[in-house]
């Protein structure tokens, strides 16, 4: 069920992928800054990667196994790409979306974990700010190659998404005093925050009015603004939680809790119906399409809830030892969720 590259990636961003990358960068950087204080760096590394595997791997492997058994998502042929967390490289290499193309964000997250541990834990602390800011500058430059004719699938590679991840890391450094928080105070002020979000809405709406959006705007400016928007929203949620109290609503908290499973299964649900229940997959009227979408949502959420209660949650019963922020990261799954 591949889609046009431009459309698919735009939809991904619109649905909050960059925000989730920002959240991941924030949480993981905080955990790793705590790990710097460990007298045994080897043990800290073992603990970090073991916790990532226990939280994310079991549900992921079960989804791959189910997809392979059912013959959907191309998993019988492509499982090696996904098992080795190279799904995004596969998408870029083939210049097309596979039946499990949404796994590109999960692969990118794992690549981030592998690279970010030595950066945050081993580099001198005074270098961290410049490295993070450098990544926020380098990522738009990397993406600009798309505007000048390179494949749009470059956008699924880690260098292209580094600014969203680095935005979260920047927030973690600012909150810990490694970088001045003056920029955060300015960015999370109501006028700037809503002005930024309003600008994004306008830029994203240009095609709806029959106008062509310049490639530099699509591939460079908009993703950079989304990264800053993610920094602003997450920063406001952390420093001024009363402004975003709605996020603590029980239903939203529950959805966030099972979101990893929702992300894993949502792309496979329509494929299952097409292959096994084609009569229900067909829809012609607006009412039929709405009912079909509702059915896909119900099935995806049901599978995600089963995954949480019977696979993911049991793996989290062992108390986290990395502090409260580490526990929060484990509960959220620290992914990207398209993570």
Cα distances (angstroms) measured from residue 199 to each of 6, 118, 206, 208: 20, 36, 11, 15
Output b/e per residue, 288-305; b: 16+ Cβ within 10 A: eeeebeebbeebbbebbe
In a domain, 170, yes or no: yes
Mean pLDDT of the chain: 86
Domain total for the chain?
1
pLDDT at 12 over 60: no
Could you tell me if 246 and 252 are in contact, meaning their C-beta atoms sit under 8 angstroms apart?
Answer: yes
Token reading at 216: 């530099």
Q: Is 285 a residue whose pLDDT tops 90?
A: no
Q: Is residue 280 part of a domain?
A: no
User: Which range of residues forms the domain containing residue 120?
Assistant: 5-242
pLDDT at 279: 81
Domain annotation covers residue 248: no
Tell me if 150 is assigned to some domain.
yes
Query: Which tokens belong to 211?
Result: 């106008």
Mean pLDDT of the 177-189 span: 88
Residue recorded with tokens 């993911």: 312
Q: How confident is the model at residue 284 (pLDDT cuts 50, 70, 90)?
A: confident
pLDDT for the residue numbered 106: 96
pLDDT at 329 exceeding the cut of 70: no
**Is 103 within a domain?**
yes
What share of the chain has pLDDT > 70, as a percent?
88
CA angle (83 as vertex; 117, 227 as ends), nearest 5: 50
Longest dimension (CA), the chain: 64
Q: How many CB atoms lie within 10 A of CB 162?
A: 27
Let me know if 106 is exposed, middle or buried by CB neighbors in 10 A (0-12, 13-18, 19+): buried
- The sign of the CA dihedral 92, 94, 97, 100 is negative
Full-model pTM: 0.86
For range 172-182, the mean pLDDT: 90
pLDDT digits (tens, 9 = 90+) for 184-239: 899 989 899 889 989 988 988 888 888 888 889 989 999 999 999 889 988 988 88
**85 inside domain:** yes
Q: With 90 as the cut, is the pLDDT of residue 166 above it? A: yes
Domain assignment present for 31: yes
Residue 306 included in any domain: no
58: left (phi over 0), alpha (psi -120 to 50) or beta: alpha
Give the pLDDT of residue 318: 63
**Helix, strand, or coil (residue 317):** coil
Helical spans, DSSP H, in 148-277: 158-175, 182-187, 190-205, 215-216, 222-239, 250-257, 259-266, 268-276
pLDDT tens for residues 71-122?
Answer: 999 999 999 999 999 999 999 999 999 999 999 999 999 999 999 999 999 9
- Whole-angstrom distance, CA of residue 197 vs CA of residue 202: 9
């Amino acid at each position: 069920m591949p889609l046009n590259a431009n459309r698919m990636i735009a939809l991904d961003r619109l649905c909050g992928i960059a925000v989730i990358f920002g959240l991941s960068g924030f949480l993981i950087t905080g955990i790793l800054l705590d790990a710097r204080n460990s007298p045994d760096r080897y043990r800290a590394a073992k603990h970090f990667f073991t916790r990532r595997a226990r939280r994310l791997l079991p549900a992921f492997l079960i989804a791959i196994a189910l997809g392979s058994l059912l013959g959907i998502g191309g998993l019988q042929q492509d499982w090696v790409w996904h098992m080795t967390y190279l799904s995004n490289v596969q998408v870029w290499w083939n210049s097309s979306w596979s039946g499990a193309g949404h796994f590109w964000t999960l692969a990118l997250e794992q690549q981030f974990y592998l690279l970010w541990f030595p950066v945050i834990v081993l580099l001198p602390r005074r270098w961290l700010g410049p490295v993070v800011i450098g990544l926020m500058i380098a990522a738009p430059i990397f993406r600009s190659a798309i505007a000048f004719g390179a494949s749009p699938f470059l956008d699924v590679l880690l260098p292209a998404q580094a600014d969203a991840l680095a935005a979260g890391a920047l927030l973690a450094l600012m909150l810990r005093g490694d970088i001045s928080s003056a920029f955060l105070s300015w960015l999370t002020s109501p006028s700037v925050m809503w002005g930024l979000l309003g600008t994004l809405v306008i830029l994203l709406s240009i095609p709806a009015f029959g106008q062509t959006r310049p490639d530099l705007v699509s591939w460079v400016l908009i993703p950079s603004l989304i990264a800053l928007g993610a920094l602003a929203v997450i920063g406001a949620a952390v420093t001024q939680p009363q402004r975003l109290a709605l996020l603590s609503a029980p239903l939203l908290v529950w959805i966030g809790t099972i979101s990893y499973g929702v992300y894993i299964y949502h792309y496979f649900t329509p494929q299952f119906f097409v292959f096994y229940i084609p009569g229900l997959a067909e829809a012609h009227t607006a009412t039929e399409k709405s009912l079909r979408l509702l059915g896909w949502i119900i099935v995806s959420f049901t599978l995600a809830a089963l995954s949480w209660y019977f696979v993911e949650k049991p793996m989290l019963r062992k108390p986290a030892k990395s502090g409260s922020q580490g526990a929060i990261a484990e509960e959220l799954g620290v992914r990207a969720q398209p993570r």
